[in-house]
Chain A
Amino acid sequence: MKRAWVLGGGAVILGVFAWLLFGGLEKNMVFFLTPRELLAKGTEGVGVPVRLGGQVKPGSVKWDAQALDLRFTVTDGGGEIPVRATGAPPQMFRDGMGVIVEGRVGTGGVFEASNLMVKHSNEYRAPKPGEEAHEKYKTLIQQSATP
Chain B
Amino acid sequence: MPTNDRSLDSSLPRRTGIWLAFACFAVLGAAQAYSISNSPAEGDMGHLQKIMYVHVPAAWMTFLAFFVVLVFSVLYLWRRREAYDLIAASAAEVGAVFNGLTLALGMIWGRPTWGVWWTWDARLTSTLVLFLIFIGYLALRGFVDDPGQRARWSAAVGIIGAINVPIVYMSVMWWRTLHQQPSSPSTLDPAYTLGLRLNAIALLLVMIYFIRRRYEIARLERAAEQAAQMAAMGGR
- Are A and B interaction partners? yes
The residues of A with any CB-CB pair to B shorter than 8 Å are 2, 5-6, 9-10, 13, 16-17, 20-21, 24-25, 28-32, 53, 89-93, 97, 100, 115-127, 131, 134, 144, 147
- In B131-157, which residues have CB < 8 Å from any A CB? 132-133, 136, 139-140, 143-145, 153, 157
Q: Separation in Å of the A33 CB from the closest CB of chain B?
A: 9
Contacts of B40 in A (CB 8 A): 126
Q: Which of B115, B122, B177 has the most CB of A within 10 A?
A: B115
Q: Number of B residues whose C-beta is below 8 Å from A?
A: 45
Does B197 make an interface contact (CB < 8 A)?
A: no
CA distance A20 to B126 in the complex (A): 8
CA distance A5 to B136 in the complex (A): 13
Q: Which residue of A lies closest to B171 (CB)?
A: A25
Q: Separation in Å of the B201 CB from the closest CB of chain A?
A: 19
Provided the pairs A124-B192, A125-B43 are in contact, do residues A144 and B176 lie with their beta carbons within 8 angstroms? yes
CA distance A117 to B42 in the complex (A): 19
Contacts of A119 in B (CB 8 A): 114, 178, 180
Contact A118 B114 (CB under 8 A): yes
Contact A117 B143 (CB under 8 A): no
Does B41 make an interface contact (CB < 8 A)?
A: yes
The residues of B with any CB-CB pair to A shorter than 8 Å are 40-45, 49, 52, 112-116, 119-122, 125-126, 129, 132-133, 136, 139-140, 143-145, 153, 157, 160, 175-178, 180-184, 187-189, 191-192
One of B44, B132, B144 near A6 (C-beta < 8 A): B144
Q: Which residue of A lies closest to B45 (CB)?
A: A92
CA distance A16 to B52 in the complex (A): 31
Contact A24 B176 (CB under 8 A): no
